[in-house]
Amino acid sequence: MKNNLLLSILSIFLVSCTIKNKVENDYVPILVDMDKNEVFLDSYKENVLILNLWATWCKPCIAEFESLVKSKSSYEGKKVKIVAISNEDHDKIIDFIDKRDIDLEFLKLNADLSYFNAYSLPTTIIFDKEGKEKFRITSGIDFTSKNFIKKIIDIEKL
């Protein structure tokens, strides 16, 4: 009985070590670009970041891409970056982009949207130049509206 208990404990220990090593060797970055290079949100610091969470099946997400692209001209010469993030299959995102003319930076999230505390789509999160969340919008929006652009430019001036 004593040997069986010792053998069981040893087996559990060995299995847990094996699982841990497997996870460490199969590191999956949280964010990757469309070339599958790891990306860190810290790399956007010193810029206001408009982070748009979307999906290929989300009609309101797709509808707001046009205004998101058009809004870029309002930030010329400003420290503002716009990034669209989906957690769908990488090839599905690439296929979606290739079929449309959307001039945005796209990233793939290798996690659930709850990573950003997002539970509906579209969700847009605005981060200041220090990387702190300033506000978020949990519905479709016209990114070219004077009110939205003014908020972004006001944050950029800080």
Helix boundaries (H) for the chain: 2-25, 59-71, 90-98, 146-157
pLDDT at 7: 41
Between 119 and 25, the more confident residue is 119
The per-residue pLDDT for range 68-82, each reduced to its tens digit, is: 999 999 999 999 999
The amino acid at residue 73 is: S
The structure tokens listed for 17 are 């070590």
pLDDT at residue 17 tops 70? no
Q: What's the pTM?
A: 0.82
**Domains in the chain, CATH or no CATH each:** 31-157 (3.40.30.10)
The per-residue pLDDT for range 79-112, each reduced to its tens digit, is: 999 999 999 999 999 999 999 989 999 999 999 9
Q: How confident is the model at residue 25 (pLDDT cuts 50, 70, 90)?
A: low
Average pLDDT over residues 34-44: 96
Task: For the chain, give the percent of residues with pLDDT over 70.
Answer: 84
pLDDT at residue 158 tops 70? yes
Q: State whether residue 133 is helix, strand or coil.
A: strand
The amino acid at residue 56 is: T
User: CA 153 to CA 83: how far, in whole Å?
Assistant: 17
CA R_g for the chain: 21
